[in-house]
Amino acid sequence: MATDFHAAPTSAVYGRNRPAEYNADLQVLRRIQRFLLPKDFAVSAALIDELNQGYGLNDAPVDALLADGIKFARPLQRLILRESGFADNAPTTAQNRADDQSLLMRAEFAELYAQFATYPDWYEPQLAEIGAVAYRRYPLMLVWLLRNVALMAGYSIPALALPLIQTGALVNDALPRLMRTYAYILAVSEHAAVSPTGRTALAIGSEGWRQSIQVRQIHGLVRKQLLHNGWDSAYWGIPINQTDMVATHLQFSLLIMRGLKILGARISTEEAEGILHLWQLASWWMGIELARLPQHETAAWAWLYTYLATQELDFEVGKPLAKALHDLPSQLMGKQTRRGRWVEMVNASVTRTLVGDDIGDGLGLPRPKWRIGILASVPILFGVDTARQFSPQLATKLEQVRAKRQDNMNWWLKRYDHYYQ
C-alpha cells in the first residue's frame, strides 16, 4: 500500500488545531477509547501531522477543470458509458460526442476518466458486495443513523458545518439535502435489481457510480465558491479538504456501522470489512487519496479519535443546522401534531444515546427522560436478523422490500430534486 501523499507543508499550523487532550472529556471519545481501541492506544504525532497536511489539500484535477469553467460530470459519464457499451439515456448530439472526446486532451479530465472507467487493482468486488448486502439490509435504520448520528455529530465541528452554513445547505434546503444524502448512501450499496448494469454494488454505470461523479463536481463547485467568497484557509484549511473528506467517509461507513451494531444488527467481521472496503472505493471516487483512508476498523477508530480530539468545537456554529434537521418532522407532519413532536423526541434520543449528552446539549437538542427507550429496538432488530439468517424465504422477502424502497427513493429524487435534472 502506498503511503506517500501529495506534497503539503508539514509545518503548517491552522487555527482550528487543538492539543490532543483538548476534547478528551467528550463522551463519544471516552466511549471510543474504552470500547473500540487497544488499551495501550495513544494519539500518534505522525497521524496528527498527516491530518494537518490534509487540511491544505484540495481535489487537484477537479479544481483545475472547474477553474477553467469545465463541468466534467456529464461528459465524463457519457464518454465512459459509450466506451463501455452501456446505454446512456440522456440525449446526445454529434457535437456533444466530439466535445466529450476533445476533453480527453486535458490531463485532468484524462485522470478522472482513468479513475472512473475501471476498477483499481486494490478493489475486491466480492468483498465489497458482501459489505453492500449487509449495509443495505437496514434502510430505515440507515436514515435514522445518518440523520441523528452521522450528521448531528458533524455539526459539532465548525470546519464541517461552515461550508453547509455558508452555502445555505441543510438550513434553507434541509429535506432535499437530507434525502439526497440518504439516496447517495443507498446508491453506494445499490441493490443489483436497481442497477442499470444489473451487476454488483458500485458497478461502472451504476447509480452509486453516477452520483459519485456528480457529488465530486458539486464539492468542487462549493470549494470554488467558498474560496471566492473569502473562506479563511489559514484558519480552517482548504474547504472540503482531504482530511475533512476522510472524516465524512467515516461518518457514513464507520459511525453508521457502529450504530447498527448497537441497535441490534448482526454484522459479521467479514461484513464489517466489506462495508469499509465498499466505502473505500466510493471515497476514492469522491477524490480522497487512497493512502489517507484507514485500512481496517481499528485504524479507522484511531483516525476518528485523533481527528475529534484535535478539532475546535463550537456548537453555536452548528446549532442552525441541528435545528433545521430537528424541526423537519413537525414541518412535515404539522407543528401541532403529537406525532411530529414524538418523532423529534425519538430522533433527539438517538443522538443523545449514541453520540452523547454533551453534544446533544451543545446543539440545543431536547432531553427526553425516556431517551434510552430507543434501545428497545435491539431485541427486535436482533430477532429479525437472526430469523433472516435461518430462513432463506424471509431473507429474499426482505431484500425485495429493500430493493423496492431504494427504487422508490431514486425515482422520487430524479422526479422532484433539481440536483438530478
CA distance 47 to 45: 5
CA distance 20 to 22: 6
CA distance 232 to 223: 12
> What does the pLDDT read at residue 90?
56
What pTM value is reported for the model?
Answer: 0.92
For the ranges 48-62, 198-212, 251-265, 399-413, the lowest mean pLDDT is seen at 399-413
Mean pLDDT estimate for the chain:
89
- Average pLDDT for 287-303: 97
At 224-235, the pLDDT tens digits run 999 999 999 999
Q: How far is residue 196 from each of residues 82, 193, 199, 206, 210, measured CA to CA in Å?
A: 14, 8, 8, 6, 11
Instruction: Inform me whether the pLDDT recorded for 266 exceeds 80.
Output: yes
Closest CA to 160 of 100, 226, 228: 226
Phi/psi of residue 201, each to 5°?
-60, 145
pLDDT tier, 420 (very low <50, low <70, confident <90, very high otherwise): low
pLDDT tier, 218 (very low <50, low <70, confident <90, very high otherwise): very high
> What does the pLDDT read at residue 397?
86
pLDDT tier, 418 (very low <50, low <70, confident <90, very high otherwise): low
Q: Are 152 and 325 in contact (CB under 8 A)?
A: yes
In sequence order, which ranges of 23-90 are alpha helices (DSSP H)?
Answer: 27-35, 45-55, 60-67, 73-84
> What does the pLDDT read at residue 320?
92
Task: Provide the percentage of residues in the chain whose pLDDT is more than 90.
Answer: 65
